[in-house]
Amino acid sequence: MFKVQVRFALLALLLPLLLNATHILKDDILKPEASKLVEDMAEELLQKTGINGYVVATNERFPERFNLVAFSKKYEANISKPYVMLIFAPRAKITQKSEETGRVALISSDKAIAELYDKNDVIDATIDVIAAKDKNSKEDKYNIGVVQGFSELADQIAASKNVKMTTTLPNETRYIITVLQVIVIIGALLVFWMFMFRPIFMRIKNGKQ
């Protein structure tokens, strides 16, 4: 009788966590803090856009060229359309020869959903964190990478729907690139002004055609 009571008590404690973990389909990697961030972003994304965002974070050692689209089908019974699924598999083999590992995939329920985000930007947001050389452990980088990648995905989908997310994280790399692009454009305009438009302007101003 005591064992039954203990089981019911444990179930009562775990049930709220299980009910809330609706957007993470597989989790071999994420810490509770990272899972909470993903769940919050996914819930806000669903409320504001009607699109379900899912994460599969797996430590499975997939072979080279393993079909992640086919792999995603095993979760179809537990997901709702429309959706986009971010699959993060750090131990998946990229090439047999180099033995490099780590794959990221984005699976959408249809083409219309896929057009709401830039696949390469989302993958870059995930991988850039992991590739960075710093003192963080691999496990920490995996957690940061998944959160940052899903954040980028949610932000892009929301922007496509003309709504703004409040639970996502800023992509510092994206902002740095944007600033650099602005600097390059301003520099190009100054060069054009100094060497092309300014001489023409001065000639016209001085009455020399």
74: domain CATH number is: 3.10.310.50
Task: Give CA–CA dist 51/140, Å, rounded.
Answer: 28
Residues 158 and 188 in one domain: no
Alpha helices by DSSP H, listed for the chain, are 2-20, 32-49, 68-72, 111-114, 119-131, 138-160, 172-192, 198-205
Contact 74, 87 (CB under 8 A): no
How many separate domains does the chain show?
2
Sheet arrangement for strand 52-57: 24-27, 52-57, 83-93, 101-108
Are residue 160 and residue 118 in the same domain, yes or no? yes
Q: Does pLDDT of 189 surpass 70?
A: no
Q: Is it the case that residue 56 has pLDDT exceeding 50?
A: yes
pLDDT digits (tens, 9 = 90+) for 103-112: 999 999 999 9
Q: How far apart are CA 132 and CA 155, in angstroms?
A: 22
Structural domain including 48 reads 2-170
**What local confidence, expressed as pLDDT, does residue 161 receive?**
96
Mean pLDDT of the chain, nearest integer: 80
One domain for residues 188 and 115? no
Residues 103 and 164 in one domain: yes
Verify that 203 and 117 share a domain, yes or no: no
134 and 202 inside one domain: no
In the prediction, which pLDDT does 194 show? 65
Judged against a pLDDT cut of 70, whether residue 209 lies above it is answered with no
Residue 184's alpha-carbon distances to 154, 163, 177, 188, in angstroms, are 29, 30, 10, 6
pLDDT in tens, 6-26: 343 443 443 344 444 589 999
* Pair 114, 51 in one domain: yes
- Which of 96-100, 122-126, 190-194 is most confident? 122-126
pLDDT at 154: 97
Say if residue 205 is exposed, middle or buried (CB neighbours under 10 Å; 0-12, 13-18, 19+). Answer: exposed
pLDDT single digits (tens) 61-111 = 998 889 999 999 999 988 999 999 999 999 888 877 777 888 999 999 999
More confident residue, 60 or 169: 60
pLDDT tier, 185 (very low <50, low <70, confident <90, very high otherwise): low
Q: Is the pLDDT of residue 115 over 70?
A: yes
In the block, residue with structure tokens 């054009």: 192
pTM, 2 dp: 0.72
pLDDT in tens, 128-140: 877 777 777 888 8
